[in-house]
Amino acid sequence: MARIPYGISNFAAMRERRLLFVDQTRYLHLLEEQGPDHVLFLRPRRFGKSLWISILEHYYDLRFADRFAELFGGLDIGHDPTSLHNRFLVLRLDFSTVDTSGDDGRLHESLTRSLAWHVRGFLADHQPWLEDGQRLRDALEGVADPVHALRCALEAGRQAGLPLYVLIDEYDSFTNELVASQQEARYKTLVHGTGLLKTFFKAIKEATGTGVVARTFTTGINPLLLSDLTSGFNIARNLGAEPEYAELLGFGLEDVRGLLAQVGEGSTAEAISELGGEAQVLELMAQWYDGYRFCPGAPARFNPDMVLYMLQAVVLGRLPRELVDFNLASDVGKLDLVVRKAGDLGRLWAWIEGQDLPGSSVVDRFGVDDLTDPVNFDSLLYYLGFLSYTEDPRPRLRVPNYVVRTLCWEQLRKLLQRSLGLDHFETVRVALHALMGDGEGETFFRLVREQVLALAVPRDLIHLSEAAIKTACLALLSLSTELMVFSEWATHRGYADLVLIPAPQSVWLERAWMIELKYLGKSADTPVARQQALAEGRAQIARYCQDEQRLAYLSRWTLHKAVVLFVGIDEVVWEPVA
């Protein structure tokens, strides 16, 4: 059985244990030959940034020179290595371990302790090349300043006469936590004037000027910190949005197809067939995990963490209990930050509805105080992974996949709950259980009208349309862990508004739903208009059911079909379809 490297970001460990590996080492040529010496590379969380930093460390650090064939043999770069491989003292730093839970003193101490630990390891690992390494390690004992810890590493490189390659992973990790927890005053203290972080990055910048630091590669999620540091570290160029690097990190369609082929060997092949076959599993992955584009018109990328998360279950012949990895779901809190800071629930709602908003684009520099600008609002959603470019060569954005939509629906529900003053949705949960367990769906859609639309529309939280009503339904559907929700479910004959199937863990449920939503404004409401809307919904469902392959997928459950017509915010017409 193929071994899945979920949660593993150590390149050497993956190669030693012969874990599945998608080779992107060809980009090392591009970075050396065309890229700048100082790189900032931004991608959403859990997109393979730490593994790439590990690849750079093992490729460029001179201490791994005698293991080059072992680590890179058989890979693209192993067949044609660049001139700079294993030529540097590599200093690797990671800001994700800094603790922000305490006061300023504890934050300072945590940052100092983390950096000192990394520098201590750097000095120990490179002892054979350092004449005065022990003295520098001794100087780290009791160090009270992160800049002092950094200078010990810089001094080691200067004395050795060897260039340093500084790798900084998740440079904005703990500062994002400060902003997300509404501690912006503490954040600004770190990045402005003589702030600790500004001084730290300024020291690295100065070392590049003296030649001690030859190259840097920094990963992160968004440009907020770099923008607020201003001149503190203005030497790094953000390559994340450049077309040549749009496919660096993440998996392409052929990568995922290859991984499925590898895990589908031997006894696992029968397990995959029980899930509908390789093509069905690939389609499910594409719907949930694909769709990230990091420049207009670029090929779509899968979130690699989520693909590996699903593969762990697929090799055992099942799907994960939930298709959204809990580790990724923690990003919902960051979405809450964006909406609260920008005060633009309506714009978020429009994005989730799938509206093509004018003026949507991504900018590469903006600070914390600039988030109320709609362009910066959209940009931060993009950097967090909640929006991505479309396949259109024009710069247009959209929500990339069902994982993101699920996170957004859940967040919208929480925002609505807070805005409407609702304490709980227990009646909705009961109605959802009846929907999936008993095949009784009318109650749920009446509750959507009563508990969301009738309260939110008068307060201008929702502007009624068919898309807005569907989004409200999706927000409440996210309350249930018993079902998987598909919006705009693709068939050969069109797109079904809602398809609901039992979640993988809900083996006791035997029902699925295909639902078409319709909306009539009060001014357009007539008996004839109602009958026309309902007839159109019935015809659409009939067309969708002509797609034999898609219907075969749903045939494992008892399929219920219905048209739901919302008339303003006052009435719901429920019509089951035979």
Contact 485, 474 (CB under 8 A): yes
Residue 335 has pLDDT above 80, yes or no: no
Residue 274 has pLDDT above 70, yes or no: no
Write down the pLDDT at residue 3: 84
Identity of residue 289: Y
Residue 192 has pLDDT above 60, yes or no: yes
Span 303-323, pLDDT tens digits: 999 999 999 888 887 778 777
Please give the mean pLDDT across all residues of the chain: 86
- Closest Cα partner for 171 from 196, 197, 140? 197
Side-chain-side CA neighbours of 42 within 13 Å: the count stands at: 27
Highest average pLDDT, of 275-289, 291-305, 454-468, comes from 291-305
**Which pLDDT belongs to residue 282?**
87
Query: What confidence score (pLDDT) does residue 339 get?
Result: 61
Helix axes 426-437, 466-477, angle to 10 degrees: 90
pLDDT of res. 368: 79
The three-class DSSP label of residue 215 is: strand
Pick from 216-220, 225-229, 272-276 the range whose average pLDDT is largest: 216-220
Per-residue pLDDT at 189: 83
Sign of CA dihedral 248, 253, 255, 256: positive
Q: What order do you get walking across the sheet with 89-94 strand by strand?
A: 89-94, 164-169, 213-220, 38-42, 237-238
Q: Which of 81-95, 302-316, 326-340, 451-465 has the lowest mean pLDDT?
A: 326-340
Average pLDDT over every residue of 398-418:
81
Q: Per-residue pLDDT averaged across 512-536, rounded?
A: 95
Give the model confidence (pLDDT) of 162-188 as tens digits. 999 999 999 888 887 787 777 778 888
- Rounded to an integer, the average pLDDT of 330-354 is 64
Based on the number of CB atoms within 10 Å of its own CB, is 172 exposed (0-12), middle (13-18) or buried (19 or more)? buried
- pLDDT recorded at residue 42: 95
Residues 6+ positions from 257 with CB-CB distance below 8 Å: 282
pLDDT of residue 313: 86
- Which pLDDT score, from 0 to 100, does residue 61 have? 97
For residue 435, give the amino acid letter.
L
In whole angstroms, give the CA distance from residue 118 to residue 126: 12
CB-based burial, 181-191: b 16+ in 10 Å, e otherwise:
eebeeebbbbb
Contact assessment for residue 242 and residue 385, using Cβ atoms and an 8 Å cutoff? no
Residue type, 145: D
Measure the CA–CA gap between 89 and 319, rounded to whole angstroms. Answer: 44
- DSSP class of residue 301 equals B
pLDDT at 484: 84
Contact 447, 428 (CB under 8 A): yes
Of the pLDDT bands very low, low, confident and very high (cuts 50, 70, 90), residue 333 is low
User: 5 versus 228: which is more confidently predicted?
Assistant: 5
- pLDDT reading at 575 higher than 90: yes
Q: What is the pTM of this model?
A: 0.87
Judged against a pLDDT cut of 80, whether residue 424 lies above it is answered with no
pLDDT digits (tens, 9 = 90+) for 43-100: 998 899 999 999 999 999 999 999 999 999 999 999 999 999 999 999 999 988 888 8
pLDDT digits 0-9 by tens, 113-144: 888 899 999 999 999 998 877 777 777 777 77
Q: What is the DSSP string of 29-51?
A: HHHHHTS-SEEEEE--TTSSHHH
Where is 228: in which H helix or E strand?
helix 224-229
Tell me the average pLDDT across 392-397: 85
**What count of residues does the chain have?**
578
Is the pLDDT higher at 448 or at 344? 448
Residue 43: HSE in the Cβ half-sphere, 13 Å Cα cutoff: 29
Local confidence band at 338 (pLDDT 50, 70, 90 cut-offs): low
**Which residues contact residue 120 at a Cβ distance below 8 angstroms, ignoring those fewer than 6 apart?**
137, 140
Nearest to 340, CA basis, from 403, 418, 450: 418
